[in-house]
Structure formats: C-alpha cells, structure tokens
Amino acid sequence: MRLAIYGGSFNPPHLGHTAAIRAVQAAARPDAVLVIPAATPPHKALAENSPSAEERFTLSRLAFGALPGVTVSDLELRRAGKSYSADTVRALRAQYPEAELCCIVGTDMLETFEEWHDFAYILREAALYALAREPDELERVQTAAARLRAEYGARVTVIDTPPLPVSSTQIRLLLRRRGGAEFLHPAAYAHIIRGRLYGAQPSFDWLREQAYPRLKPRRVAHVWGCEHEARRLAERWGCDADLAAEAGILHDITKKLELSDQLLLSDKYGIINDTVETANLKLLHAKTGAALARDLYGVPDAVYDAIRWHTTARADMTTLEKVLYLADYIEPTREFPGVDRLRELAYADLDKAMVLGLEMSLEDLRADGITPHPNTMNALAWYKHRGETT
C-alpha cells in the first residue's frame, strides 16, 4: 500500500493544494492520500486572525473531502503540542507498518527540510514527492532534491507539473477585498463567508448568485435596482456603500415564502412575531430575511439591522437603515405617483425623504385596508418631530 501524506496549515485550503494532490495521484498512483491539517504548525506562526485548527480542518474537509482517494485526517488535531511531521509519520508507521509512506512537499519545505524536527527519521521512513509552488521554481526544487539525495540518501521524486500560482497568504488578502472565490472550492468559500473567517467580505457576484435563486424571477430586477440605488444613496450620505450593496442584494431573500415557511423560519431563529405581523405576510420577510442573511452569509449587525427594518422602519434609524428603506422604495423599476419627488428628496434631505416615504406607505396601507405596524407609526412621528426641532 502506498500512502501519500499531505500536511500543512491549510490556511485556507485552496485549489493550488487540490492541483498538487491530483498531480501526485497522477504521477505516483498512491492507494490513498491523507490530508492532515496541522493543529499548531511548528515552523511558523499562523497569520493574525487565522481561524481555529477545528475550522481549518472543516475547511479542508469541504475542499478535499470529495476528491477520489483522499481522506482528511484529524490526526494532528488529536495530538497535543506542536504538529511535527515526524510524529505524524511515526504514528502512521505504527498504524500501517507495511505501507510505503510518501510526504508531499512544496519548494520552501523542501529547501528547508533539514530544519524540520527529526528530519532524518522522516527521510528513513518516507519518500518525498516535491512540487514547485510557482512557475519559476522547478530548478530550485530539482537542486534541493539532488542535495537531499546526495547527502542523506533521500528518496525524492520531483513532479514536474504546472503549479497554480497562488498562495494562502494571497488568498487571505483577496478575501478581505471581496475576492479570492476563484481559488477556493465553492463549499469552502461559502463556509468562510458564513463565518466571515479571515475578515472575509463576500464577492458581490457570488452573493447575487446565492440570493437570486431565492427570489421570484420578476423580483430580480427590483433587487438589482435596490442594490445599486442603495450604493448610490450610501455614497451620497457617507455610510459604507459596500454594506449598503450587501443589504440591497439580500433584503428580499425570504420574500417569496408563504406564511407557513415564514413561521418555520421564525421558530428556527427564535423570532417572536406580533399579531400585526402574522396578519400581514410582507412584514415577516424583513425579520426572517435578516436572520437568514446572518446565518448563511455572516452579515454584520449593520446589514442585519438594515434588512430587519426595511419594511416597517423604526424611530431613530441609522443612516444605513434609512438608505435601504428608501432605496427599496425608489429604485429604478418603481413607478407610482410621487416617486419622482421622493427620489429627489432622498438625495437632498434624507430625513425629510423618510417622512414622505412613511406617509406614502401609510396611505397605501390604509387604502388597502391593512393595519399599519406600530413601528411605522412611531417612525413617522419620530421623523416629523425631528424635522420640527431642527
């Protein structure tokens, strides 16, 4: 049995790691590949704000668990202290005494192999499969392999395959800039965004891909318009335009659900609804949508609150909450008497626009025989009073 061992911090695991696994499988034909995330990497400290070892293990399972012949092992997570590869090889040798062990290493690990704890033991017990991490590193890999063969009799095979030129360091930076999804397994990326690991911010394209299938087709144009209107209003009034766009994309993600499904979500997220809300289905989607957006996409509190209040409004709203409320009302697909005046006012005086928008909303509700929610009444009273005292 030939067993390939692929250790590392996997912080995060990415498609470059996947490419390395496939290259080794193609060249060495191992019977199995064990991916073993380190609990405590011995040679370098984890980057600041890195997730826990358990989270990196979960990410690795999402990234590699479905690959044929690959198992993600928690061997090093179950062992206290630094995650020395020598100890891992020793444990696997005890478990598989007759196996042919081989360790997968990249350029930097091969070049510094003699700095590894008990490296001589590893070389006695395991072969090495070495891959370049960057396109111009093959010669370095070959030089390091030749030196280890000559000095220690190491069994080193250099796998000449085009690497995917990306590193975990680069991906962590991209994630904070709403990028990096193209270098990650979709399930791993979704998990990162859900927990906002690495300070990640979701790609807007990805967020739309998640949100739009949850909408009725005719609502997509409205949501697109709301996103872009919210961004423009946020830029006008000095709040975070990216957060406004997130709120715009996600504000209606539970809008199409019937009452029974809205109530199931309310139970799931511990949402308490009053009699006015349960009598008016459209009021529930703001609360369930905010909860679902936080659960699935890790939205920050400011976005959660903007979604939560975009239908009824409330007294003393944040700028972002007012921006989403009005963007939902005035985005380009909206056509109703008075919308042009409301659009003008939204860019001239945000609080006066709130008064007009709330008055128009209450007028529509009364015309349809619907009881307004007390939060809407309180919001209108609050903004009218604010206008009279400023």
pLDDT number for residue 229: 98
Spatial distance between the Cα atoms of 383 and 373, rounded to a whole number of angstroms: 16
pLDDT number for residue 80: 87
Domains of the chain: 2-186 (3.40.50.620), 203-389 (1.10.3210.10)
Regions of the chain where pLDDT drops below 50: none
pLDDT number for residue 150: 96
3-state DSSP call for residue 374?
A: helix
How many C-beta neighbours within 10 Å does residue 270 have?
7
Q: pLDDT tens across 274-298, in order? A: 999 998 888 999 999 999 999 999 9
pLDDT number for residue 162: 85
Contact (CB, 8 A) for 69 and 32: yes
CA 358 vs CA 39, 80, 131, 347, 355: distances in Å: 54, 60, 63, 16, 5
3-state DSSP call for residue 318?
A: coil
Q: pLDDT tens across 320-348, in order? A: 999 999 999 999 999 999 999 999 999 99
pLDDT number for residue 268: 97
Task: Say which DSSP state 89 is in.
Answer: H
pLDDT number for residue 389: 77
How many C-beta neighbours within 10 Å does residue 379 have?
26
pTM of the model: 0.94
Q: pLDDT exceeding 90 applies to what percent of the chain? A: 88
pLDDT number for residue 333: 96
Contact (CB, 8 A) for 117 and 86: yes
